[in-house]
A = this chain, B = another copy of it.
């Protein structure tokens, strides 16, 4: 029923909010979630223009300009001039950026692992299935957005 779907969605966002803080705090807090999110998007979806990267990441274009600047300073992305449009850049994840992302994931998963160590195989499968469900909806929201939809 719709009521239950809404409840679950609300709980999902709420719990995620706290999990994100937990992940940030168990890592050394060296880099922000926004940095890792941006690299992850680039790795998952491939090189794209700055504006599209902003839309996919659900941040404003100026915010993405800043993030890309920071990532560029770290050497974690490449800016490739877009042949055919002198205004545009293609933003691509540098291998070092991917490596940094993996290192961060290692760090937080190692820190979180004890707390989740007693999960059964079924529970792990449940989490994996949920990740897939949310991932497909994020992708859907992305493509819907491109066609002018709201959510």
Q: What is the size, in residues, of chain A's interface with B at 8 Å between Cβ atoms?
A: 63
- Shortest distance in angstroms between A109's beta carbon and chain B's nearest beta carbon? 4
A residues 116-139 touching B (CB-CB < 8 Å): 116-117, 119, 123-124, 126-131, 133-135, 137-138
A147 near B: Cβ within 8 Å? Answer: no
Surface stretch bound by B, among A33-41, A76-84, A92-100: A33-41
* Least Cβ–Cβ distance between A21 and chain B, in angstroms: 4
A-B contact pairs, 15 of them (CB 8 A): A5-B116, A6-B113, A8-B131, A13-B108, A14-B105, A15-B131, A17-B33, A17-B36, A18-B37, A18-B58, A19-B138, A21-B57, A25-B58, A116-B137, A126-B126
Chain A contacts to B: CB under 8 angstroms: 2, 4-26, 33, 36-37, 40-41, 57-59, 105-106, 108-117, 119, 123-124, 126-131, 133-135, 137-138, 140-141, 144, 150-151
**Which residue of B is nearest A137, CB measured?**
B115
What secondary structure prevails in chain A residues at the interface with B? Answer: helix
Question: In the complex, are the beta carbons of A6 and B109 less than 8 A apart?
Answer: yes
**Chain B, residue nearest A135 (CB):** B15
Q: Are A112 and B9 in contact (CB under 8 A)?
A: yes
